Structure 1
Amino acid sequence: MLRSHRTNGLLGVLTAGAVAVALAGCSPQADDPPVDPPTADACEPQRLETVVPGTLTVGTDQPAYPPWFVDDAPENGSGFEGAVAYAVANQLGYEPDKVAWVRVPFATAIAPGPKEFDVDINQFSITEERRAAVDFSSPYYDVTQAVIALEGTPAAAATTLAELREVKLGAQVGTTSYRAITEVIAPTAEPAVFNNNDDAKAALRNGTIDALVLDLPTAFYVTAAEIDDATIVGQLAQPSGQPEQFGLVLDKGSSLTACVSAAVDELRGNGTLDSLQAEWLADVAGAPVLS
């Protein structure tokens, strides 16, 4: 459900003490650069330098997949990321009718250069390599990667990383799913890359690849609702021991970054992110960690 009532929480999170608490609670990566907290009035919609004055323009890819979005319609506010986007907008003071959506391919959103959006939400993992080209908000979700395969295949029977090294693996290009293949599994054969997850799923169905790496919530959705004979083989450990986290993407050096991060921090601190996760990602349960 879209929420049009703005809370007063952002004003509170902008005080020095509250900012320290909020930042401590959001598990930022250890090498996150310090960001000076914005003043309260700097985050009012009339003061924010958005692409369209008075409107928050949010980008995401097309198609937009469950459980992150529902019916490929981000404007309905359903799905975890759809709901998070409207919660952030609400925290900043934007009514639902002042939120506009644009479709931006995943790779384009994180490439250097001017953006047609104010923020983009599309399961972007925060990495130092990407930080060279774009800004990230504070993280709104901690995630792990998972491997799926068709039931009855050698890949589905794998219980160790060593067994997965011998199968043909695939992932969407430019994602941390691909990085997890190369850094955690380290297969003997070059992994296949795909422009989007639809192409990757088709390759799994037709046998072009033996197993597909996706973030864990997407893996649960694909195996439960999209590919009947697919199963989750297991999840992958974090390469560095630091949790992989999703953040909203902004233009490099955006004047909005501090305000958007303050909004995300408040949503984490007041329990909104946990509530949205419980609502939209409730089916994501434990899966064995492969080693």
Structure 2
Amino acid sequence: MKMAQKHNVLTIALLALMAMVVTPVLAQEKTPNDPRLFTPGKLTVSTSEPSYPPWVLDNNPEAGEGFEAALVYALATELGFKKEDVVWVDVTFDGAIAPGPKAYDFSVQQISVTPDRAKVATFSDVYYQSDKAVIALPTSAVAGAKSFADLKAAKWGVAVGTTDFDYVTNVLGIADAAVFDDQAGVFQALQGGQIDATVAALPTALYATCCQVPEAKITAILPKDPKDEGLGLLFAYENPIVPWINEGLAALKSKGTIDELAKKYLIADPSIPEITQ
């Protein structure tokens, strides 16, 4: 056999061998055995500890109750996973949004999609965008507010570095809001009379007025934050499974599953007044 012919035969054999190796791998992509998963065969999801209603009920995401816990299991089913194949890990909010590799497939804990975060992590398509809500004591002057002008007369408090801080400053036009290290500090100030009101995403406000600050109430519903794109699942930067996860989310949206979960877990009292300007 001539040298050129031997070379061609070897090349063909090598390509055939490579095809035998590559084809099974490609065939498993977008299945529960996708080799690109953190642990093939499992959908590994992080959330905070503790997790709060209405996002996760009873601090037990494995039960699948609460908007985000139920969403994850609906998504897992859509992608072909069994319920027992969903693995939950505890990661703080700060840990989730920090740059670097992730020891899970994605994080779900009410993470707003922002340009700055998108520089160091990759988000799924938005799965929920919330109205904002005013949280105040019933005796506060804010309790009867009917306009943004009325709201400006109050003493506001918000947690530093949050979309709530940006909303109070840029949307409501409050330039002198008191700033606290975290939301717990905000609620303590509200209870102590240091501030009249704070603002939060509606589901957060529902939980706060139910369990964290039961003496407070939601006094008004405010428009969505125009600079807050909504909540997304957060992945390590340029994680290749994101398009597959987005396909699953799109299917849930088209079936009305996400709307049904929102109605089940994220509904406010319809008698609460809305302030739009």
Q: Which residue of 2 aligns with 1:231?
A: 217
Which piece of structure 1 moves more, 174-183 or 146-155? 174-183
Q: Identity of aligned pairs, percent?
A: 35
Q: Which residue of 1 aligns with 2:235?
A: 250
Show structure 2 runs of 5+ residues with no match: 1-25
Residue 66 of structure 1: SS of its match in structure 2?
coil
| TM-score normalised to structure 2 length | 0.81
Shift of 1:68: 0.7
Shift of 1:52: 2.4
Q: Which has the larger radius of gyration?
A: 2
Residues 52 and 207, structure 2, Cα contact 8 Å, conserved in 1: no
Q: Distance in 2 between matches of 1:188 and 1:61?
A: 31
Q: Distance in 1 between matches of 2:275 and 2:142?
A: 15
Show structure 1 runs of 5+ residues with no match: 1-38
Which piece of structure 1 moves more, 95-104 or 247-256? 95-104
CA offset digits 1:93-136 (Å, max 9, x no partner): 22121111122221221222112221111111222222112111
Q: Distance in 1 between matches of 2:216 and 2:208?
A: 8
Which of 129, 135, 157 is matched with 1:170 structurally?
157
Q: Distance in 2 between matches of 1:59 and 1:105?
A: 9
Q: Distance in 2 between matches of 1:168 and 1:227?
A: 17
Shift of 1:175: 2.8
Pair 1:212 & 2:212 matched: no
Residue 59 of structure 2: SS of its match in structure 1?
coil
Any residues of structure 2 matched to 1:26-45 within 5 Å, and which? Answer: 42-45=29-32
Q: Distance in 2 between matches of 1:275 and 1:81?
A: 12
Q: Which residue of 2 aligns with 1:29?
A: none
Residues 132 and 225, structure 2, Cα contact 8 Å, conserved in 1: no
Q: Count how many residue pairs are aligned between Structure 1 and Structure 2.
A: 251
Shift of 1:268: 0.5
Shift of 1:82: 0.6
Q: Over aligned residues, Cα RMSD in angstroms?
A: 2.3
Any residues of structure 2 matched to 1:6-85 within 5 Å, and which? Answer: 42-85=29-72
Which piece of structure 1 moves more, 155-164 or 183-192? 155-164
Pair 1:273 & 2:244 matched: no
Residues 114 and 251, structure 1, Cα contact 8 Å, conserved in 2: yes
CA offset digits 1:135-194 (Å, max 9, x no partner): 111111121211111111123233322333343323344332222112112213143133
Pair 1:150 & 2:146 matched: no
Which piece of structure 1 moves more, 85-94 or 243-252? 243-252
Shift of 1:199: 3.7
Q: Distance in 2 between matches of 1:279 and 1:48?
A: 35
More strand by share: 1
CA offset digits 1:177-235 (Å, max 9, x no partner): 2221121122131431333x334323321223321211012213322444333122323
More helix by share: 2
Which of 49, 55, 74 is matched with 1:87 structurally?
74
Alignment-mate amino acid for residue 193 of structure 2: G
Residues 159 and 233, structure 1, Cα contact 8 Å, conserved in 2: no
| TM-score normalised to structure 1 length | 0.78
